[in-house]
């Protein structure tokens, strides 16, 4: 069993979007049992009001795997680089840390925009690596930009070590990742690319490669997902963050350190059903249960 690295995070910056308030115990909805979330850290909040609907170890600092790629995408888009520029996949993009496979062979040439799509939708590590390499100043400058962006949006309990999420030194909290999701949701391309069901790229003139979303909930009739990102390395477990509209309410869902292939999906569906029951399927006014989220934080 892996350690969870629980660390108390200092209060986030107080300027910007409305604060996120943890519901006190006495306001919990007594008619609808809170969901039994199996992920080791979780957060559900109302995107508009900032109200925390559910929290579990939300201030624990943990590895976040490919959730990192949401920050990667924001840094790429903030740089206003040519989306049509052709970028070569090189040996430098091979995962030498974990040996993870990739369908993007060395020598493949794709546009920056295609690489961004694949990094977000299919969590392609070589795509993310190539994006960082082709940033002004190279990969080191890219990582510095990631951490600067994190500071600017109030992710004070987070640190980024690479663009892919393969390093376990990419760490954050459920609270910080809610900030990340909210910020990333403001980018139309991140919304579009992270929720695409599939995408096909042409590799030379000989063949096409079909890629698919790593989140099986995308495209489900039961879900209206506005942003999605999955992640997995051994140290992080299986992770999932989403922006979704449930029972007429825009919410942010963060699920970290799930163990088992379907645990994060099961947790997400339990949250959806819980909110639908609590709201009466259309009245997003029910108070949610909060476990382990005993203070207010700020989404900027």
Report the interhelical angle of 68-78 vs 138-153 (nearest 10°): 100
Over 50: is that where the pLDDT of 18 sits? no
Say which of 39, 56, 102, 123 is annotated catalytic: 123
pLDDT mean over 138-145: 99
pLDDT over threshold 90, residue 61: yes
Q: Please tell me the predicted confidence (pLDDT) of residue 12.
A: 36
Is residue 202 annotated as part of the catalytic site, yes or no?
no
Please give the CATH architecture assigned to the domain spanning 19-298.
Answer: 3-Layer(aba) Sandwich (3.40)
What is the mean predicted confidence (pLDDT) over 13-30? 40
Q: Are the beta carbons of 55 and 291 closer than 8 angstroms? A: yes
Q: What is the C-alpha to C-alpha distance for residues 200 and 210, in angstroms, rounded to an integer?
A: 4
Domain ranges of the chain: 19-298
Q: 32 pLDDT band (50/70/90 cuts)? A: confident
Ordered DSSP codes for 120-187: HHS--HHHHHHHHHTSTTHHHHHHHHHHHHHHHHT-TT-B---SSS-STT-EE-HHHHHHHHHHHTT-
> What contacts 130, CB < 8 A, 6 or more positions away?
87, 88, 89, 90, 93, 115
pLDDT tens-digit profile of 217-241? Answer: 999 999 999 999 999 999 999 999 9
Q: Are 43 and 254 in contact (CB under 8 A)?
A: yes
Burial environment of residue 245 by CB neighbours within 10 A (0 to 12, 13 to 18, 19 or more): middle
Q: Of the residues 66, 158, 228, 279, which is catalytic?
A: 66
Verify whether residue 200 is a known catalytic residue: no
Q: What does the pLDDT read at residue 203?
A: 86
Q: What is the pLDDT, as a whole number, of residue 259?
A: 87
39, 56, 69, 229: the active-site residue? 69
Going by pLDDT thresholds of 50, 70 and 90, the confidence category of residue 189 is very high
Please tell me the distance from the alpha carbon of residue 243 to that of residue 228, in angstroms, as a whole number. Answer: 7
Could you give the CA distance from residue 236 to residue 231 in angstroms, rounded to a whole number?
A: 8
**172 in active site:** no
User: Residue 9's pLDDT band (boundaries 50, 70, 90)?
Assistant: very low
Give the separation between CA 211 and CA 103, rounded to whole angstroms: 9
Q: What is the pLDDT of residue 24?
A: 39
Q: How far apart are CA 189 and CA 186, in angstroms?
A: 9
Query: Which whole number is the average pLDDT over 263-290?
Result: 74
State yes or no: pLDDT of 287 exceeds 80.
no
């Amino acid at each position: 069993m892996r350690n969870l690295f629980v660390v108390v995070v200092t209060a986030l910056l107080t300027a910007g979007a409305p604060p996120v308030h943890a519901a006190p115990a006495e306001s919990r909805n007594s008619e609808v049992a809170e969901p039994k979330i199996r992920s080791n850290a979780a957060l559900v909040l109302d995107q508009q009001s900032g109200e925390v609907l559910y929290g579990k170890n939300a201030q624990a600092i943990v590895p976040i795997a490919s959730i990192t790629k949401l920050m990667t995408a924001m840094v790429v888009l903030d740089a206003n680089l040519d989306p049509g520029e052709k970028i070569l996949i090189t040996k430098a993009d091979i995962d030498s840390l974990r040996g993870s496979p990739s369908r993007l062979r060395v020598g493949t040439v794709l546009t920056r925009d295609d690489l961004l799509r694949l990094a977000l939708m299919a969590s392609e590590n070589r795509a993310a690596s190539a994006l960082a390499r082709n940033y002004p100043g190279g990969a080191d400058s890219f990582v510095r930009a990631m951490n600067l962006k994190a500071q600017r949006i109030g992710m004070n309990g987070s640190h980024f070590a690479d663009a892919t999420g393969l390093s376990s030194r990419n760490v954050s909290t459920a609270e910080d990742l809610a900030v990340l999701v909210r910020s990333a949701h403001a980018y139309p391309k991140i919304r579009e690319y992270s929720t695409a069901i599939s995408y096909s790229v042409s590799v030379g003139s000989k063949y096409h490669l079909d890629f698919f979303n790593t989140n099986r909930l995308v495209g489900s009739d039961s879900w209206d997902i506005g942003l999605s990102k999955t992640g997995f390395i051994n140290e992080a477990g299986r992770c999932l963050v989403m922006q979704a509209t449930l029972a007429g309410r825009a919410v942010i869902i963060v699920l970290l350190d799930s163990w088992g292939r379907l645990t994060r999906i099961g947790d997400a569906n339990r949250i959806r059903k819980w909110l639908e029951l609590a709201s009466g399927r259309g009245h997003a006014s029910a108070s949610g249960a909060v476990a382990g989220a005993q203070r207010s934080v700020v989404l900027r």
